[in-house]
Structure 1
């Protein structure tokens, strides 16, 4: 496993468990929005499908980065492996 960045702006995680028929991915990214803020974009689903994409807008990039780091920690506790 590679070393993760101190302040990541994107991450891809996956959880594969053939015994439970689980083939899942979870992507997170910070993207600028049209109003000068930052959008935390969550994209998840079954590997090989389009999945679901949900942006959440933040006025402060620091708050969005903290939320991204918290979501990475949460997903890793749930068995996801960080790919990036």
Structure 2
């Protein structure tokens, strides 16, 4: 059994420019044992968009998530 990092969820809200966005990251495993990085983003309250990446190397997962989280926190997203 693989221990996955906990899901990441952050929001960026700025009432002055009518901005209410979310960004979420989650790792999942399919029935064949393949690992997938699911990223969802969009306006809070909507389904938003989703991108799924196949992860070849399980050891690189924490580094990939760290890069994505750092990018979003630098843009003003705050974890919830």
Q: Unaligned stretches of 5+ in structure 1?
A: 1-6
5+ residue gaps, structure 2: none
CA distance in 2, matches of 1:49, 1:12: 15
Runs of 4+ in 1 over 2 A off after TM superposition: 33-37
Match of 1:77 among 61, 74, 77: 74
Q: What secondary structure does 1:65 align onto?
A: helix
Q: Once superposed, what is the RMSD of the aligned Cα atoms?
A: 1.5
In structure 2, distance between residues paired with 1:13 and 1:20: 18
Distance (Å, rounded) in 2 between the aligned partners of 1:31 and 1:65: 14
Count of matched residue pairs: 77
**TM-score, normalising length: structure 2:** 0.86
CA distance in 1, matches of 2:31, 2:55: 12
**What residue number does 2:56 align with?**
59
- What TM-score results when the alignment is normalised by the length of structure 1? 0.82
